[in-house]
């Protein structure tokens, strides 16, 4: 069939209005990069803004806090303003700060208010482990046993969550709900609007981990009434390893005291008065704790320029087109090799696909040897992320063809079926 040919892939690329953005990125030599849902690639714009911020330190010294193209003192707020459209946030609702887990600790400390029988936190068994570690530690700090007070919704199949099960578990004993927007293994996108409404109707604060959704799917957190959200910026946002995270606080909570207070949560005009009585910012800025990590924020500035130019609707459209095409090729070319598609096949999937196979770990090693960069997830998952900004339909075609050759010739058999230190 014509859609399974290289010429068809090349024609799709010719029609792609985002194709030129691939030239914005540094591609590892002789590779096709399919791991942007773990770590996005460096762009020339991110490199530029990193060098600009480095130069401001070099040339301005301490005056870089208030002078230069990107004054450091206001950097978290300015980057937050640029990120806000990606999550559907309004003025002042988004701040660039911390990391995923430190922001989660901050938010749970601020929103988890056990009272009477209302003591439990509702999460899920498929969530990323760091979120669960944080929730357990917050329960312990309040004197509660996580085995009794952390509810983890069961998955019916080990891949997906059922929103009905989640809503049914929102009982009068639940004081807080924390869920992933996109499941990191299967790529399932939860119905955040529906879940938020259910929590709001029951007067339970609800927040979402957007690590695998921001920059890949659209959000309307303000419109939905979501209480809070948190995320990293080094996956689909391409901010670089360890780049500064972000958080969202709905404006209905403006003026709420942060659970973990720190001096950068102060109002800007009073921060340097050094008063021991904190005067917190009246918006999401109040939830900052420490001094901004300026050099880790710098690449995010350049990366966000591209999202501003394109808009999330077009990014999502191309992302779905790429994964649709990859799914079609997988079904056509790999049907005989024992793969199972572990992600939703409709539009309730995020920006990556999950292929399951008993030999997944060594198949990933064979792919890397052949110049394809995948991601392995225990116990049997191969994650492939064709990213809208820097992957092409040709990349998708070559990836599936390489995988077909590896399976047909059993090239994976020379590797041990065991994950590396960093999967």
215, 43 in Cβ contact below 8 A? Answer: no
SS3 of residue 349 by DSSP: strand
Q: Say whether 408 counts as a known binding-site residue.
A: no
Q: What is the pLDDT of residue 421?
A: 62
What's the token pair of residue 85?
């459209």
Query: Residue 372: which of 409, 340, 403 has the closest Cα?
Result: 403
Q: What is the pLDDT of residue 240?
A: 98
* Domain annotation for the chain: domains and CATH numbers: 2-30+311-414 (3.90.1150.10), 48-310 (3.40.640.10)
238, 40 in Cβ contact below 8 A? Answer: yes
Cα–chain center distance at 419? 23
263-280 pLDDT tens trace: 999 998 888 888 999 999
SS3 of residue 46 by DSSP: helix
Q: What is the pLDDT of residue 38?
A: 97
Per-residue pLDDT of the chain (423 residues; tens, 9 = 90+): 567 899 999 999 999 999 999 999 999 999 999 999 999 999 999 999 999 999 999 999 999 999 999 999 999 999 999 999 999 999 999 999 999 999 999 999 999 999 999 999 999 999 999 999 999 999 999 999 999 999 999 999 999 999 999 999 999 999 999 999 999 999 999 999 999 999 999 999 999 999 999 999 999 999 999 999 999 999 999 999 999 999 999 999 999 999 999 999 999 888 888 899 999 999 999 999 999 999 999 999 999 999 999 999 999 999 999 999 999 999 999 999 999 999 999 999 999 999 999 999 999 999 999 999 999 998 999 999 999 999 999 999 999 999 999 999 999 999 987 777 666
- Between CA 218 and CA 210 the distance in angstroms is 11
Alpha helix (H) residue ranges in 6-158: 6-15, 44-60, 75-87, 100-111, 129-141, 146-149
Q: How far is CA 7 from CA 11, 14, 328, 354, in A?
A: 6, 11, 16, 26
Q: Say whether 31 counts as a known binding-site residue.
A: no
Q: Say whether 263 counts as a known binding-site residue.
A: yes
Q: Say whether 115 counts as a known binding-site residue.
A: no
Q: Say whether 386 counts as a known binding-site residue.
A: no
- Between CA 324 and CA 345 the distance in angstroms is 8
Q: Say whether 234 counts as a known binding-site residue.
A: yes
How many CB atoms within 10 Å of residue 319?
26
Half-sphere exposure (CA, 13 Å, Cβ side) for 205? Answer: 22
119, 173 in Cβ contact below 8 A? Answer: yes
Q: How far is CA 383 from CA 33, 38, 152, 228, 237, in A?
A: 12, 10, 24, 28, 18
Q: Say whether 299 counts as a known binding-site residue.
A: no
Instruction: Identify any residues that bridge with 178 across adjacent strands, giving them in sequence order.
Output: 207
Q: What is the pLDDT of residue 70?
A: 95
Q: Say whether 130 counts as a known binding-site residue.
A: yes
Q: Say whether 2 counts as a known binding-site residue.
A: no
């Amino acid at each position: 069939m014509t859609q399974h040919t290289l010429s068809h892939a090349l024609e799709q690329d010719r029609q792609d209005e985002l194709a030129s953005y691939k030239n914005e990125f540094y591609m590892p030599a002789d590779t096709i990069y399919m791991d942007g849902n773990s770590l996005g690639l460096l762009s020339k714009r991110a490199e530029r803004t990193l060098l600009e911020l480095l130069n401001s330190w070099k040339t301005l010294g301490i005056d870089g806090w208030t002078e230069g193209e990107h004054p450091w003192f206001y950097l978290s707020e300015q980057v937050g303003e640029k990120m806000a459209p990606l999550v559907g946030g309004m003025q002042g609702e988004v701040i660039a700060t911390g990391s995923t887990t430190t922001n989660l600790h901050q938010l749970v400390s601020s929103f988890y208010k056990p009272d009477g029988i209302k003591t439990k936190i509702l999460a899920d068994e498929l969530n990323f482990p760091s979120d669960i570690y944080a929730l357990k530690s917050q329960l312990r700090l309040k004197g509660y046993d996580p085995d009794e007070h952390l509810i983890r919704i069961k998955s019916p199949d080990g891949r997906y969550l059922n929103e009905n099960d989640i809503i049914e578990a929102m009982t009068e004993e639940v004081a807080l709900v924390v869920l992933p927007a996109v499941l990191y293994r299967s790529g399932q996108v939860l119905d955040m609007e529906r879940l938020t409404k259910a929590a709001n109707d029951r007067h339970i604060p609800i927040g979402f981990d957007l690590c695998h959704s921001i920059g890949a799917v659209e959000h309307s957190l303000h419109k939905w009434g979501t209480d809070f959200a948190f995320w990293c910026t080094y996956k689909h946002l391409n901010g670089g390893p360890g780049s500064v995270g972000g958080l969202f606080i709905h404006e209905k909570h403006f003026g709420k005291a942060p659970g973990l207070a720190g001096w950068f949560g102060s109002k800007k005009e009073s921060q340097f008065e050094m008063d021991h009585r904190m005067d917190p910012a009246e918006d999401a800025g109040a939830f900052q704790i420490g001094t901004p990590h300026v050099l880790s924020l710098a690449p995010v500035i350049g990366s966000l320029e591209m999202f501003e130019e394109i808009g999330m609707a077009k990014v999502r459209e191309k992302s779905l087109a790429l994964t649709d095409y990859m799914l079609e090729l997988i079904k056509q070319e790999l049907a005989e090799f024992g793969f199972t598609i572990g992600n939703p096949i409709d539009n309730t999937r995020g920006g990556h696909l999950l292929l399951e196979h008993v030999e997944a770990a060594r198949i990933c090693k064979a792919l890397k040897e052949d110049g394809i960069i995948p991601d392995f997830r225990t116990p049997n998952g191969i994650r492939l992320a064709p990213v809208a900004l820097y992957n092409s339909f040709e990349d998708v075609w070559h990836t599936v063809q390489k995988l077909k050759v590896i399976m047909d010739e059993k090239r994976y058999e020379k590797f041990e079926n065991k994950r590396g230190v960093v999967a």
